[in-house]
Amino acid sequence: MPPITIQDLKVIVTQPLSTHQRMIVVKLITSEPGLYGLGCATFTQSYHSVVAALEQHFKPFLIGRDVSRIEDIWQMAWVNAYWRNGPVLNNALSGVDIALWDIKGKLANMPVYQLLGGKCREAAAVYVHADGRDPQEVIDNARAFMDQGYRYVRLQMGGYGGKDARDVRPPGSTPGAYYDAREYTRRMVGMLEKARAALGAEMEILHDIHERLSPIDALNFAKAVEPLNLFFLEDALAPEDIEWFAHIRAQCATPLAMGELFNHPQEWRWLIERRLIDFLRMHISQIGGLTPARNAAIHGAIYGIRTAWHGPGDVSPVGHAANLHLDLWAPNFGIQEWCRFPEVVYEIFPGCPEVRDGYMFPNDRPGFGVDIDEALAAKYPPTDEVLQWTQTRLPDGSPARP
């Protein structure tokens, strides 16, 4: 019997949410009539680049290849451009990789988590985001989530990095998204203290610094919130500063999550092997798909480090399903971020994972169990924009990391 091969690659871009969240879905069409796979390649900030990489480079590379050889295709595609480990090519590769796993599950007539080794749990606990303009509004929003059955809530106030910072920039300063890191620290620590007192010890509280503090300020922040017993503190440092995790770990016991901006295995490997973090937070399309995420989870399990895959609104439902199948399988699963899609997303992506009482459940269909209504997706075309929130600046006008 001849192998089933890749006959075509189609890229679908849709933007059903009002915010700047353009979802990129790869559809691999095979030589077997009616058999195709879907994968998430979402890099919303540079979606044109990913689409071009898929259509102009990956498609000719893939046509005619045996769909059963996932590992071989991944390794060859990873190095085919010679330079590697960048977000554009890795997101493109992720779309292909996840689609191939979807195809393999459909051929086996099994959910992908069965191919990985089967379930360790029936559903994945999730966390959601409670924001607010002041501490009381944050607390009220967190309580509303508790009433819906959520037990893990990430608390922010005024968005990332203290967007309500005083305007003290010098005259003539360049426009941008200004924030004051020191003011942010004072306000966020105060908010978290009030939230813990109001919500009690049973609520699992998380917080995301979003890499917006200098290393020494991040260290002080982690120490300041240590008495509050956070479930984890996310992205305390930028990838360029990860050596500082050794100093944070030496001085406090605040659980640490890291990895949202990581692209390649050497970044997370160093932290895993030194046991400097507690949760792996990678965006699985940015690191190349399910294949490297599976390897990272196994590596983390050896060192007692749990998973907490990135799951915002700019991960497509196909990507969320891939996260979920990893969550169900991994013995070292920790928590899963969840963005709470509106109904229109469920209409575009039939089979999108559902959350009930704070748990995300699979639908147990073959593959990842998610499909796409291409006609409906086309009614929400992507829009172009120059991103403003990433044009971050410090009070004196200096450029800063977002």
Among candidate residues 160, 184, 359, 380, the one labeled active-site is 160
310 and 283 Cβ atoms separated by less than 8 Å? yes
Q: What is the mean pLDDT of the chain?
A: 95
d(CA 395, CA 246): 29
Q: Which DSSP string do the residues of 134-171 spell out, in sequence order?
A: SHHHHHHHHHHHHHTT--EEEE-SSTTTTTT----PPT
How many C-beta atoms lie closer than 10 Å to residue 300's C-beta? 23
Q: What pLDDT shows up at residue 165?
A: 63
Closest CA to 127 of 368, 314, 304, 360: 360
Question: If you average pLDDT over residues 310-319, what whole number do you get?
Answer: 95
Distant-in-sequence, close-in-space partners of 39: CB < 8 Å, separation ≥ 6: 25, 26, 28, 94, 95, 96, 97, 98, 99, 100, 101, 102, 289, 318
pLDDT in tens, 60-103: 999 999 999 999 999 999 999 999 999 999 999 999 999 999 99
Among candidate residues 20, 129, 207, 210, the one labeled active-site is 210
User: Sorting pLDDT into bands at 50, 70 and 90, what band is 402?
Assistant: confident
What structural domains does the chain harbor? Answer: 6-111 (3.30.390.10), 114-365 (3.20.20.120)
71 and 53 Cβ atoms separated by less than 8 Å? no
Question: If you average pLDDT over residues 342-360, what whole number do you get?
Answer: 97
Q: And the tokens for 164?
A: 């309500």
d(CA 319, CA 284): 8
3-state SS, residue 40: strand
d(CA 58, CA 9): 8
| Span of 64-78, 81-95, 174-188, 289-303 with lowest mean pLDDT | 174-188
Question: If you average pLDDT over residues 169-193, what whole number do you get?
Answer: 91
Single pTM value for the model:
0.96
Residues, the chain: 402
- 179 tagged catalytic: no
- 210 tagged catalytic: yes
**DSSP 8-state class, residue 239:** G
